[in-house]
Structures are given as structure tokens and as C-alpha cells.
Amino acid sequence: MLAAPFDKTKLLHNHRVAGVTGSVIPTPGGGHVHQIFVNTDFFFNHFHEVTVTTGPAILIRDGDGNIIGHVHAIIGTTSCTFFHTHDFKGTTLIQNPLAPIGCIAFPPDSSDWLKFEED
């Protein structure tokens, strides 16, 4: 997450966030998004709230083209605290990254699996 307001340098700092997304929110066409509600870390005397709805799932493939999971893009602005906000953009991390190689993230009969199928 980036630093001071565009034309200011006195409050130059950044924050970090970590957390988990909310549950799946189905969208028309079989996809889904998530909501994220987390606080940033502290800097000096403040932190910010991050409240954002992700974009749709972006498939992640291994070197052989196999789907190994998905991520979501996020973009937004933090809450205003101590007279400033921070704009941010990024992605979530792949879900269940510790699953054994070869395991699928969702059972084939789940609704989440449907959005991963090839056209």
C-alpha cells in the first residue's frame, strides 16, 4: 500500500495488510467475488480500515496449463485516519497454497468448480 498524499512528503509512509477474504459471493454467470474487511498495521499513531469487494476470480495455471487455483484483483482506498488515506491495488493470494500437489481446490461437484471449466 502506498505512501503519502500525492503532493505531500512529510507523512511519507506505507502500511501492510494481511487477512482472509469473506465467503464466496456468487455473481451472474457462475463466477464469484469476495468482500475483505481488515485493518492495516500501525504506523506512528494510526492504522486504516480496508473495506473492498474483489474482482472476479482469475485462474492460475501451472506450467502444463493445469488450473491450480485462483486469485482476485483488488483496488481501493483506505479509510481516512490521521488526515489521510492510501490508495491501493493488488491481488489476493492463491487459495489453500499448502494443499498437496495434485489435489484440487474444490470438489468437482461444487458450484465453485463450475467456473473453472474450460469454454
Other Cβ atoms less than 10 A from the Cβ of 26: the count is: 12
CA distance 27 to 29: 6
Q: Scanning the structure block, which residue is given the C-alpha cell 473453472?
A: 116
CA distance 39 to 19: 9
Give the shortest CB-109-to-Fe ion separation in angstroms. Answer: 18
Q: Scanning the structure block, which residue is given the C-alpha cell 507523512?
A: 11
**Part of the chain binding Fe ion (CB under 5 A), chosen from 2-10, 54-62, 99-107:** 54-62
**Part of the chain binding Fe ion (CB under 5 A), chosen from 2-10, 51-59, 60-68, 96-104:** 51-59
# residues near Fe ion by CB under 5 A:
1
CA distance 40 to 46: 9
Nearer to Fe ion, 66 or 77 (CB): 77
Nearer to Fe ion, 52 or 57 (CB): 57
Nearer to Fe ion, 42 or 66 (CB): 42
DSSP 79: P
Nearer to Fe ion, 25 or 62 (CB): 25
Interface residues toward Fe ion, by CB under 5 A:
57
